[in-house]
Structure formats: structure tokens, C-alpha cells
Amino acid sequence: MAIFSYVMDLYTKELVGYAMSERINKELVIAALLMARWKHHPGEGIILHSDRGVQYASGAYQKLLADNKMICSMSRKDNPYDNGAMESFNATIKKELIYPHCTYQTRKEARKEIFEYIEVFYNKERLHSSIGYETPAMFRELLNLQVLNS
């Protein structure tokens, strides 16, 4: 079984980091966060929100946040609605990609399909009503242009 961890920019709805593993552990969430950090170079004070899983509370994950001057935010106990954006994304990827495939023959195949779904479709083609029916990538570009022009 493959387990995934995702990092989403809540403002643009863009998936900026993700990782796959056989286990839910600190290494999985650290890998997703490192990818997000490498791709987007967030500034100090960015808030990273997650559920209350032990992987997010781990010393190594918390140290990575602190070392990068990121602020940890966690859902209230037993309240999945606090993490609604990620719950919604998980439902979307299952409905649009994973369930139609039923099963993948290998983890490599699953990783490839999920990479293509995120990088080609979800971030660059899928329109989101919450960002004015733009794609996450286009919305981010529009924001960057606004910053440059102000």
C-alpha cells in the first residue's frame, strides 16, 4: 500500500510538495515539506497547517519548521474540518484518479500517475471556483504579476 503526504498552498490551491511511502511517518511528511521548500522557497513566518498526527508532532519535523522559521498550526483534536482543504483534495484525487484505476500494478506506476495528475492536471489545467475559475499555477502567476506591478 502506498501512503502520500501533500503540502498545499491554501491561497493558490497549488500542490507544492508531495511524497510517497509505505508508511505514515516523519520521513514522509519531511520529504513532502522539503519538496515544497525546494520548489517555492517560502519566506519566514509561513504557516504550515496539518492534522495532529504524530508525524507532524515529531521532533524532526518540528525542528525543520523551526530551522526554517515556519509556524506550526495543527487542527483541533478530533476535528477534520480544520484541515478541510486537504480533506477535499484527498477526496478529489481519489475520485478523479485513484478509484477509476482501481489498482496500480506497482508503486512506480502509482507515483508516475500521481505526479502527472498533480503537476500536469491539478496545478496547471484544473479550474478552481475558489480562485475565480483559474488554475492554481495561473492564479500564482497573476499574483506574482500584481506584486511586480505594485
Around Cβ 44, how many Cβ atoms within 10 Å? Answer: 8
pLDDT for residue 82 is more than 80: no
pLDDT computed for residue 148 by the predictor: 85
pLDDT category at 73 given cuts 50, 70, 90 is very high
Cell numbers standing for residue 74: 495543527
pLDDT in tens, 1-39: 678 999 999 999 999 999 999 999 999 999 999 999 999
Domains defined for the chain, CATH in brackets: 3-88+104-149 (3.30.420.10)
Looking at residue 12, what DSSP letter applies?
T
Distance CA 49, CA 90 (A): 15
pLDDT computed for residue 120 by the predictor: 96
Cβ–Cβ under 8 Å, residues 21 and 3: yes
Closest CA to 10 of 116, 64, 89, 78: 89
Cβ–Cβ under 8 Å, residues 44 and 62: no
